[in-house]
Amino acid sequence: MKATKFLKFLVITIFVFLIIIFSVVSYNIDYKMYDLKADQNLYSQNLWEINTDSLSEKLLSMMTLEEKIDQMYGEKMYKSIPKFFGNFILKQKFPHIYAGRNKRLNIPPWVLSDGPRGARVLNKNISSVTTFPVAMARAASWNTLLEYKVHDVISKEMRANKTNYAATPCINLLRHPGWGRAQETYGEDPWLLGEFGIAAVKGIEKNNVMACPKHFALNSIENSRWVIDVSINERALREVYLPHFKKVIQKGKPASIMSAYNKVRGKYSGSNHELLTKILRNDWGFKGFVSTDWMYGIYDGIEAINAGLNVEMPWQDEYSYNIIKKGINDNHINLNQIDSLVLTTLKTRLKFAYSYDSIKYDEKLILNASHIDLARTVAEESMVLIKNEDILPFEISKNIKVGVIGDLANLENTGDMGSSNSSSPYVITPFQGIKNLFDNINTDVFLDDGNNLDETIKLAKKLDQIILVVGYTYEDEGEYVMSRGQMLKSAEAKELVGIKGIGGDRESLKLNKKDEKLIKAISKVNKNIVVVYVGGSAINMNNWIDDVPAVLFSWYSGMEGGNALASIIYGLVNPSGKLPFTIAKNDSDYPYFNPYTDKINYGYYHGYTLFEKFNKKIAYPFGYGLSYSSFKIDNFRLSEDNTDKNIIKFKVDIKNISKVYGKEVVQLYVGFENSQIDRPLKLLRDFKKVSLNPGEEKTLLFKIEKNDLSYYNEIEKKWMTENIKYNFYVGNSSENNSLIKYKEGIDI
């Protein structure tokens, strides 16, 4: 027995050693960069005038079986593994993985780059790109036009980096705030997720980059992502966890979609026929191709082919020649299935390889001044003012003492270091941002990390203004990388087995003890304080919220975050962000969440629908955020133009009744109080962000499609609309006290 264990240890050691050697060699190899666009010299007509559907069919007819299989994976394992780990470990870069290149048939390859907050894959001449606030922050802006612009920039910089396939946006629903990758998505509400997802897809594909929304589907726990099996009833699946995917597919029309790691009802997502064929293609009409998440995406190549999975990434494993040939010979799959999967991929990606480019995507595009300006604007619009007892904005004065305190006060902290990471040339920290603001003013700006509490308290007593920065880093939350074996052991044990890796899910929603201790101690000696929270999701503030007069959520705010923070705190910019999730009063009221589990049930209620339905106390509602302005919302009415029987139109007036220019987010909800079946009390169905000068008044138009009032009937297996009176509400958060109800219910 001991000899067997030793032999196993020896084999693993040798394997790891060889990987390291190959990785080091790979690091030093100058890999050839392939062109991702078709060669114009091979054609007598303009590329964009070629019928790529017909061309795809012709190319498929000319392929051998081996060449068809070559279209079904990224690269061969012996090439990509050392290249991948060599770049990732030694350069902290993701390499170019070339998928689908066929030299004989002149088919150009495609290359994936992650990009939730900036281009992830960099070419050999580029070391940094524009880095934006994380997706959760951008969701807090409630500004889909900004999200479109962000992805326009990201996709431009992807093209300049010789990539053309964006593994973004992440549109998984935030079921619980402890989820480690919460920062990569757009919050708890399917409607908000869908609207932002559409904006992202359109911004990406504007520059002939293929968008790939992810992770399809039900991926909302990180530490068990490779092994967890999610059970769910059909209504919860269709009404809660899939509508944003459906909307993005049907209205955004992305080129691709990425399957999730987890199982759904016993089947891994990448081999799940119900998800990939029945729902995605048959029900929704998806015409693009499906690729796996990277590594551990599928475990049975034949099952994945039967499910409708087009491409295995990043390397060939389960889609090997031997497995597929044997599957055909054993009649478990047939050649027509292979042809269909390959043709779908070709028809989709060749449209991009043969497309017209209106600009030249060269390296000069990267870090363009307008891109950096946008990063700052997005950071400013995303920050959410949670509490303000007439203390903010701070006054910009000479001869005062300002303190920026905390471990994170001068830390370059842009979020997760996994696949969503983005390399920027600099990061403006909170301290640097405040210091920049006072550059030409005779004011002392002090930095204190808070590690010596007694000294920090002495300093705090002398300060006129305190900015206390608390929260998390990539070590606390983010993508979780651990061996699948250890992940499985922890999941089965329902607790961590072994040593926890970096990032992952948060097991506590409270700040770390040092941060809470700092807040308590400093607030006792100086009340002129604002607590700035850095992180990707909701936190529990119960222990200290009553001790401080002001709290600002700054999120992971990108390369220009510190400058944006200074502008908000000192009133150069009026905060206009709104929470894209609900913050519970009691953590136990969130849905059940254990980072280490192999089985879980996702229920019908979560977020504001859960808290309202079961009358749970909340700390701060979905859609909430303060401003330095005051707004009056009234005259909620039906629009004069309601001739379309399938759409209901409303109007509402909003006026800035303060002396400060500002922006407000007005939200429209539909109420289901009269429903004869179990439904949420209300759901978000439209929103508008509007800017108003002091005293200015505007009229906003809202639209609701009647189909968006429907529910999924599990018995009939179709969407149905109840014949009841629906209520409609408008306001600046989901909290009932902030909403105006339309005078009477409307029959549908």
What does the pLDDT look like over 444-476, one tens digit per residue? 999 999 999 999 999 999 999 999 999 999 999
Q: Tell me what the mean pLDDT of segment 292-301 comes to.
A: 96
- When mean pLDDT is compared across 439-443, 609-613, 648-652, 665-669, the lowest value belongs to 439-443
Residue 33 binned pLDDT confidence (cut-offs 50, 70, 90): confident
What local confidence, expressed as pLDDT, does residue 222 receive? 97
Task: Judge whether residue 12 has pLDDT over 90.
Answer: no
% of the chain at pLDDT higher than 90: 90
Residues written for the chain: 748
The string of DSSP letters for 303-342 reads HHHHHT--BEEEE-STT-HHHHHHHHHTTSS-HHHHHHHH
Give the CATH architecture of domain 33-362. Answer: Alpha-Beta Barrel (3.20)
Report the predicted TM-score, pTM, of the whole model to 2 decimal places: 0.95
pLDDT of residue 8: 47
For residue range 232-243, what is the model confidence (pLDDT) as tens digits?
A: 999 999 999 999
Provide the mean pLDDT of the chain.
95
> In this structure, are strands 550-553 and 465-471 parallel, antiparallel, or unpaired?
unpaired
Inter-residue contact 553 to 503 (CB < 8 Å): no
pLDDT at position 10 = 52
Q: What token pair was written down for 381?
A: 């619009």
Opening angle at CA 374, ends 368 and 377, nearest 5: 150
- Place 320 in a pLDDT band, splitting at 50, 70 and 90: very high
Confidence label for 21 from pLDDT (cuts 50, 70 and 90): low
Element (H, E) at 157: helix 144-160
The answer to whether the beta carbons of residues 531 and 525 sit under 8 Å apart is no
Task: Spell out the alpha helix ranges (H) of 225-363.
Answer: 234-236, 243-247, 273, 301-307, 321-329, 335-353
**pLDDT over threshold 50, residue 5:** no
Token pair in block for residue 1 = 């027995």
CA distances from 631 to 461, 665, 684 (A): 36, 10, 20
C-alpha dist (Å) from residue 242 to 237, 506, 634? 6, 25, 34
How many C-beta atoms surround the C-beta of residue 431 within 10 A? 26
Tens of pLDDT, residue by residue over 572-598, are 999 999 999 999 999 999 999 999 999
Q: Residue 28 has what pLDDT?
A: 47
Using a 10 angstrom Cβ sphere, with 0-12 exposed, 13-18 middle and 19 or more buried, the burial of residue 320 is: middle
Q: Delimit the domains of the chain by residue range.
A: 1-30, 33-362, 384-476+512-576, 631-747
- State mean pLDDT over 226-230: 98
Cis peptide before 425, with omega less than 30 degrees from 0?
no
> What letters, b where the CB count within 10 A reaches 16 and e where it falls short, cover 199-209?
bbbbbbbebbb
What is the residue type of 445?
V
Residue 15 has pLDDT above 80, yes or no: no
Q: Which whole number is the average pLDDT over 281-296?
A: 97
CA distance 525 to 505: 35
Residues in Cβ contact with 564 at an 8 Å cutoff, skipping those fewer than 6 apart: 376, 379, 380, 383, 433, 554, 557, 573
> Picking from 30-44, 379-393, 502-516, 677-691, which range would have the lowest pLDDT averaged per residue?
30-44
Give the largest Cα separation in the chain, rounded: 84
Q: What burial class does residue 305 get, using C-beta atoms within 10 Å of its C-beta: 0-12 exposed, 13-18 middle, 19+ buried? A: buried
Q: Using one digit for the tens of pLDDT, what is the confidence trace for 63-90?
A: 999 999 999 999 998 888 888 788 777 7
The sign of the torsion formed by the CA atoms of 556, 561, 562, 568 equals negative
Residues 359-366 have a mean pLDDT of 96
Q: For 546-578, how does the pLDDT look when each residue is reduced to its tens digit (9 = 90+)? A: 999 999 999 999 999 999 999 999 999 999 999
Can you name the CATH fold of 631-747? Immunoglobulin-like (2.60.40)
Q: Give the pLDDT score at 721.
A: 96
Is it the case that residue 2 has pLDDT exceeding 60? no
Task: Examine domains 384-476+512-576 and 631-747 and report if their fold is the same.
Answer: no
What integer pLDDT is reported at residue 151 of this predicted model?
98
Q: What pLDDT, on a 0 to 100 scale, did the predictor assign at position 9?
A: 45
* pLDDT digit string, tens, across residues 89-109: 777 778 899 999 999 999 999
Please identify which residue in the block is written with the tokens 């920062």. 183
Label residue 27 by pLDDT band (50, 70, 90): very low
Question: What phi and psi, each to the nearest 5 degrees, are found at residue 338?
Answer: -60, -45
Burial 347-371 (b: 16+ CB within 10 A, else e): bbbbbbbbbeeeeebeeebbbeeeb
CA-to-CA distance for 81 and 295, rounded, in angstroms? 11
Each residue's pLDDT tens digit, 620-668: 999 999 999 999 999 999 999 888 889 999 999 999 999 999 999 999 9
CATH class of the structural domain 384-476+512-576? alpha beta
Tell me how far apart the alpha carbons of residues 258 and 297 are, in angstroms, rounded to a whole number. 10
Instruction: State residue 93's pLDDT score.
Output: 77
Q: In this structure, which amino acid lies at residue 98?
A: Y
